[in-house]
Amino acid sequence: MKSAKEFWDKSAARYAKSPVQNEAVYQKKLAITQEYLQPDWSILEFGCGTGSTAIIHAPCVRHIVASDISSRMLEIAEIKAREAGIGSISFQQGALEELKLPPESFDAVLGLNVLHLLDDVNAAIARVHDLLKPGGIFVSSTALVNNVSLFWRLVIPLMQLLGLAPHVSRFGKQELLSMLAKAGFTPEFEWQPDQASVFIVARKPASIPTNQ
């Protein structure tokens, strides 16, 4: 199987041209996310792909760090941001665990259509928790590979052997909720647009004041 970076670098041009699978679902996710965003916020989107979602959210916040494992994806994202006249996005190449970012530096972290593509989902969620300020939110949109049809569960391993599909981690909604709880998150919003995906907004608890 190809490395994740190699796979997504090769897929970047095709990915950039592919339409959103369900425009109504995508727009609802954007709207829900923007209900939480504040103008003075700094946010991180990891696995940003070609930057479409970061560009849409950029006018709603102060600054976005948008990262992806694929340098080719980011090349396209930077062109799109420049053409859109967006200067408030900083792009960083690398996996989530590789990014040189200080703890508690973001008001929100977005992980959209990416958790199921990671080798260690628990570690990624713990890293997100570490990067969030107390009271910050984690917005995730995740494929539930355990819930896809039997056909795809049989075909995906073959596609991976042929280099036509990336690594996928298999978990269901309750497993994901358990991973979030283990990391210290409290889910505030949960929506399943279909059986094989879930959209969750979870919050890192605010710091409890101590008596002086």
pLDDT digits (tens, 9 = 90+) for 24-37: 999 999 999 999 99
pLDDT one-digit tens code per residue, 53-97 = 999 999 999 999 999 999 999 999 999 999 999 999 999 999 999
State the Cα–Cα distance between residues 193 and 186, nearest whole angstrom: 21
Provide the token pair at 61. 């916040």
Residue 138 — pLDDT band, cuts 50, 70, 90?
very high
Which residues does 155 contact at the CB level (< 8 Å), separation at least 6?
Answer: none
Q: Report the SS3 class of residue 91.
A: strand
